Amino acid sequence: MAKAYLSIEGVGVTFAKGAARSEVLTGVDLKVDKGEFVSIIGHSGCGKSTLLNVVAGLVPVTTGAVILDKQEVNAPGPDRAVVFQNHSLLPWLSVRENVSLAVDKVFGRTKTAAERRDWTLHNLELVKMTHALDKRPSEISGGMKQRVGIARALAMEPKVLLLDEPFGALDALTRAHLQDSVMEIHATLKNTVLMVTHDVDEAALLSDRIVMMTNGPRAAIGQVLDVGLQRPRDRLAVAENPTYIHARAAVIEFLYARRAA
Ligand SMILES: Nc1ncnc2c1ncn2[C@@H]1O[C@H](COP(=O)(O)OP(=O)(O)OP(=O)(O)O)[C@@H](O)[C@H]1O
C-alpha cells in the first residue's frame, strides 16, 4: 500500500507540570494524502490545536510519531506553515515586508532577489492584497491581516498548510469571503491542508474529509467523514445539495447527540 503523504501514527500527548499530568490526546492515527483538505472538529478543549501543534512541531509527542513526506517531524520547519486565529504579523513591517521576510528566510539561497520580490507579490496577489502593500498591520482590517498571514504561509511553499481556526475571529461576511479565497487557492495550488475549526458549515464546505474528535481528556479520533462533494463548490449551491446536507447533519449528530460536552 502506498504510504500517506502526512501520517500521524499512534500520537499521544501528555502535558506535565510538576507532579500533575494531563493526558490530552491518545492513540491518534490519521493519514492525509497530498492535495487533500482535511478539517479537525471537536468540542472546545478536546485537543484540536494540540494535534495541529504536534504536526507543526511546536508540541512534542509523548507517544507515536508524525511523518511528513517520509521524514519524521520533531521541530518546527518551513515545510509546515501555520496560520493562527489571531494574526501573527510583525506590527512594524508593511504587508509586503511581512511576507518578504519569510520569503527571504526560506528562499534566500535558492532564489535571486528579483525572484523573491516577484514571489512575494505573487502570493499577495493570490490573497488579493496587492492594493495594500505598504500598509502596516494596524492600518488594515482583521480579514486583511488574515489574508496576509495566509500569503506569508503560502509563500513558504509548505508541504502542509496548517490552519488553526484562521477565520474564527472574523465577522460572518468576511469569513465567507476568506473561505472562498482559500477554496480558490486550494483549487489552484492543490496544497495539502489541515485545518482546525469549530464551524460545521465551514468544515463541510471546505474539506475533503472531516475528522471528528472525541471529548477530552484522552481525546482520540471518533469518526472520519468523507464529505464527497464535487469541486469547485459554491456556497449558495451547496446549501441545497443533499451530499452537503448529509455531511453537515452527520457532523452535528456526532458533536451534539453522541458527544455532547
Ligand atoms: N502547553 C500546554 N500545557 C498544558 N496543558 C495544555 C497545553 N496546551 C494545551 N493544554 C491543554 O490541553 C487541552 C486541549 O487544548 P487545545 O487547545 O488543544 O484544545 P482545542 O480543542 O484546540 O480547544 P479550543 O477549541 O477551545 O481552541 C486543554 O485542556 C488545554 O488546557
173-213 pLDDT, tens digit per residue, is: 999 999 999 999 999 999 999 999 999 999 999 999 999 99
CA distance 183 to 90: 26
Query: Coil, helix or strand for 10?
Result: strand
What is the per-residue pLDDT for 3?
Answer: 75
215 CA from centroid of ligand 1 (Å) = 12
Q: Pick the atom of ligand 1 nearest to 59's CA.
A: 1
Q: Is 52 in the pocket of ligand 1 (CB under 6 A)?
A: no
Which triple of cell numbers denotes residue 223? 469518526
106 CA from centroid of ligand 1 (Å) = 30
Q: Pick the atom of ligand 1 nearest to 17's CA.
A: 4
What is the per-residue pLDDT for 257?
Answer: 79
Do the strands 221-226 and 209-213 form a parallel or antiparallel pair, or are they unpaired?
antiparallel
Tell which residue, 209, 177, 168, 180, has the closest CA to residue 83: 168
What is the per-residue pLDDT for 87?
Answer: 75
CA distance 140 to 98: 13
Q: Is 213 in the pocket of ligand 1 (CB under 6 A)?
A: no
48 CA from centroid of ligand 1 (Å) = 8
Q: Is 45 in the pocket of ligand 1 (CB under 6 A)?
A: yes
Mutate to test the pocket of ligand 1, among 17, 39, 48 (most ligand atoms within 8 A of CB): 48
What is the per-residue pLDDT for 261?
Answer: 58
Task: Provide the whole-model pTM.
Answer: 0.95
Which triple of cell numbers denotes residue 87? 494574526
In 3-111, at which residue ranges do the beta strands (DSSP E only) sit?
6-17, 20-32, 37-41, 63-68, 71-72, 80-83
CA distance 186 to 220: 27
Q: Is 43 in the pocket of ligand 1 (CB under 6 A)?
A: no
Q: Give φ, ψ of 250 to 5 degrees.
A: -65, -40
Q: Pick the atom of ligand 1 nearest to 50's CA.
A: 18
CA distance 198 to 139: 28
Q: Is 142 in the pocket of ligand 1 (CB under 6 A)?
A: no
> Peptide bond before 60: cis, by omega within 30 degrees of 0?
no
Query: Coil, helix or strand for 229?
Result: coil
Burial 145-178 (b: 16+ CB within 10 A, else e): bbbbbbbbbbbbbbbbbbbbbbbbbbeeebbbeb
In the chain, at which residue ranges do the beta strands (DSSP E only) sit?
6-17, 20-32, 37-41, 63-68, 71-72, 80-83, 160-164, 192-196, 209-213, 221-226
63 CA from centroid of ligand 1 (Å) = 17
| Amino acid letter, residue 16 | A
Q: How does DSSP classify residue 255?
A: I
CA distance 83 to 81: 7
Interface confidence: ipTM more than 0.95 = yes
Q: Pick the atom of ligand 1 nearest to 52's CA.
A: 18
Q: Is 192 in the pocket of ligand 1 (CB under 6 A)?
A: no
Q: Which regions in the chain score pLDDT beneath 50? A: none
